[in-house]
C-alpha cells in the first residue's frame, strides 16, 4: 500500500494570498502547501480522500491517471471544490466514479453541487458520480475501509482507516466510540492547524496528545496553517511524529 500526502494545508493553502509572514515568504518547498488531500494505492485500487480545491495540480504532479473511489471526510469547500476535476477521470475510467461519505456530507455535496446531480444535460460536461452513504466498515473491491467518526466543531465528520493507516483531518476531538478503531496503527495522519487552540481543529499539542495515546509507529501532522514552519516544527516534535509536506510518500503493508 502506498500513501501520498497530496496536500497538507489548511483551507487557505500556504502561502496565503497577500500574506508576508515568514512562512508564507519562506523559500523552503516544504512550507508550500496545497489544500489537504490524500491518495492511497491499496490492493491495486486508486483511492482519493477528498477532492481538494487543488486536485488538478496535485493529480498532475503525481501522475494520478486513474481513480477507483473517492472517500469524503466532510463537505467543507477546501475538501470538495475540486469535485469537477473528477470529470476527467470519467473519460479515463469510462465509468461513473464511486464516492463515499456520511449522510450529512453526501447531502451537502448534492446541494452544493446541484448542477452535477440535477439530471439536466447542459452544454458543458459534468462529472458522473455515484454517491453512497457509509455508516460502518465496508469492502471496496477487496480493500477493507473503516470510516471513523471524529468531531469537527459541532459536526461529526469521517476519518478513514485502511489497513494500518488512519487519516483524520479537520479533527477537533475523537468520540469515545472511535478510539478502538484506531488501535494498533502503523501510521496515523492527523490534522494540527497551528500552536494556538481553535474551536474546529486540534492544535499541535492536542494532536501530539492523541498520538501519545494511540502510539502508532509514525504520526504525520497535516492540515497546517501558516503559523507552522516545517523546519521549526520538525525540531520540536518527538522522533515518532513528523509534519507532513506535499508529496510525502509512505509505504505500508497491503491491508
Ligand atoms: Zn479543511
Ligand atoms: Zn502567512
Ligand atoms: Zn473542515
CATH of the domain at 184: 3.60.15.10
251: in domain: no
- Res. 124: pLDDT tops 80: no
36: in domain: yes
Instruction: Determine the pLDDT at residue 255.
Output: 84
Instruction: Determine the pLDDT at residue 122.
Output: 74
What is the 78 CA–ligand 1 centroid distance (Å)? 5
Q: What is the pTM of this model?
A: 0.97
Ligand number nearest CA of 49 is 1
Instruction: Determine the pLDDT at residue 244.
Output: 98
154: in domain: yes
What is the 165 CA–ligand 2 centroid distance (Å)? 31
14: in domain: yes
140: in domain: no
Instruction: Determine the pLDDT at residue 227.
Output: 98
Instruction: Determine the pLDDT at residue 45.
Output: 96
What is the 175 CA–ligand 1 centroid distance (Å)? 19
Q: Percentage of the chain with pLDDT > 90? A: 95
DSSP per position, the chain: -EEEEEE-B-TT-BSPTT--STTTT---GGG-BPBPEEEEEETTEEEEE---TTHHHHHHHTT-----EEE-S---HHHHTTGGGHHHHHHHHSSPEEEEE-HHHHHHHHHHTHHHHS----SS----EEEEE--S-EEETTEEEEEEEEEETTEEEEEEEETTEEEE-S-SB--GGGGGGGTT-SEEEEE---SS-BTTB--HHHHHHHHHHH--SEEEEESB-TT--HHHHHHHS-TTEEE--TT-EEE----
- Lowest mean pLDDT segment, chosen from 10-19, 121-130, 200-209, 238-247: 121-130
Instruction: Determine the pLDDT at residue 123.
Output: 75
Structural domain total, the chain: 1
What is the 207 CA–ligand 3 centroid distance (Å)? 16
Residue range 156-193, pLDDT digits in tens: 999 999 999 999 999 999 999 999 999 999 999 999 99
209: in domain: yes
253: in domain: no
- Res. 10: pLDDT tops 90: yes
Average pLDDT over residues 208-231: 98
Residue range 134-148, pLDDT digits in tens: 989 999 999 999 999
What is the 104 CA–ligand 2 centroid distance (Å)? 32
Instruction: Determine the pLDDT at residue 201.
Output: 98
> What mean pLDDT is reported for the chain?
97
**Domain enclosing residue 84, as ranges:** 2-135+146-246
Ligand number nearest CA of 52 is 1
17: in domain: yes
Instruction: Determine the pLDDT at residue 175.
Output: 98
What is the 123 CA–ligand 1 centroid distance (Å)? 32
Amino acid at each position: 500500500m502506498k500513501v501520498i500526502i497530496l496536500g497538507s494545508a489548511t483551507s487557505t493553502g500556504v502561502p496565503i494570498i497577500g500574506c508576508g509572514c515568514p512562512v508564507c515568504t519562506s523559500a523552503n518547498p516544504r512550507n508550500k502547501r496545497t489544500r489537504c488531500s490524500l491518495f492511497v494505492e491499496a490492493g491495486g485500487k486508486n483511492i482519493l480522500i477528498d477532492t481538494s480545491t487543488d486536485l488538478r495540480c496535485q493529480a498532475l504532479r503525481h501522475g494520478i491517471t486513474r481513480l477507483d473511489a473517492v472517500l469524503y471526510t466532510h463537505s467543507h469547500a477546501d475538501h470538495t471544490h475540486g469535485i469537477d476535476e473528477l470529470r476527467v477521470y470519467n473519460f479515463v475510467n469510462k465509468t461513473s466514479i464511486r464516492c463515499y461519505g456520511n449522510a450529512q456530507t453526501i447531502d451537502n455535496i448534492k446541494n452544493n453541487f446541484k448542477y452535477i446531480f440535477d439530471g439536466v444535460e447542459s452544454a458543458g460536461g459534468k462529472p458522473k458520480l455515484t454517491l453512497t452513504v457509509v455508516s460502518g466498515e465496508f469492502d471496496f473491491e477487496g480493500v477493507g475501509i473503516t470510516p471513523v467518526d471524529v468531531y469537527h466543531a459541532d459536526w461529526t465528520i469521517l476519518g478513514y482507516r485502511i489497513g494500518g493507516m488512519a487519516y483524520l483531518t479537520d479533527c477537533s476531538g475523537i468520540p469515545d466510540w472511535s478510539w478502538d478503531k484506531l488501535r494498533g496503527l502503523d501510521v496515523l495522519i492527523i490534522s494540527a492547524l497551528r500552536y494556538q487552540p481553535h474551536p474546529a481543529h486540534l492544535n499541535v499539542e492536542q494532536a501530539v496528545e492523541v498520538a501519545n495515546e494511540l502510539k502508532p509507529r509514525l504520526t504525520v501532522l497535516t492540515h497546517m496553517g501558516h503559523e507552522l514552519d516545517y523546519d521549526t516544527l520538525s525540531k520540536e516534535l518527538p522522533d515518532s511524529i513528523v509534519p507532513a509536506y506535499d508529496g510525502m510518500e509512505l509505504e505500508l503493508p497491503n491491508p
